[in-house]
Structure 1
Amino acid sequence: MENARYRKKAMRIETQLLGKLAVFGQAKFAKFMGVHESQVSRMKEDFISKASMMLAILEYGVDDTEIVELARRFAAVLTNKKAPAATEADSQITINF
């Protein structure tokens, strides 16, 4: 039962990491890491899922509000709609990559 909980949390972490990588850009990420872009592509196949499981087991937290905001950004990109502007009465969530 506990293993299933870790797997579920690991999947959420992996989704978040891959989403951030997609937004940041694979080529740009590879440049900052000092590796070739193909190595980042290989990391997505195996390393990120293992690292995600490790983080889940070590109780690394995933902030649900970040996932929701990331999903909104993806939806805006896919539908070519601009995100609503933040007003003084509204609070905007910022995700730093």
Structure 2
Amino acid sequence: MERRILAHDVRSNGEQLITRKEARALIASGHYRPSTGAPYGATHYRRSLDDGSCLHLVVEARRVRLHHDEFDPHANLVSLGMHVLHEARSEAVSCGALAWSMIKLLAR
């Protein structure tokens, strides 16, 4: 299943729905570690790959998805920044708004 995801078209992230049984097997493999992401109500896991990318497993109440992220946010700060700019723009805007609000509160 991971190979199918990694063989995706360059214009997509290869996202596919997988079963809960497949997700449990991926998590049990020890290659996936807890992570964060959107949607916030989901449980996230990532598997770092040698090329600096990662596989992102998103476990939601109604579905389980696996996709390929070009930049692994756990690899280093540069990769985290590239991930936010490239794949997590809405999260970046939310974090920016939160940071600005905190700065305004601290400035009072």
Q: TM-score, normalised by structure 2?
A: 0.24
Structure in which a larger fraction of residues adopt strand = 2
Calculate the TM-score normalised by the size of structure 1.
0.25
Structure having the higher helix fraction is: 1
Asked which structure has the greater RCO (Cα within 8 Å, sep 6+), the reply is 1
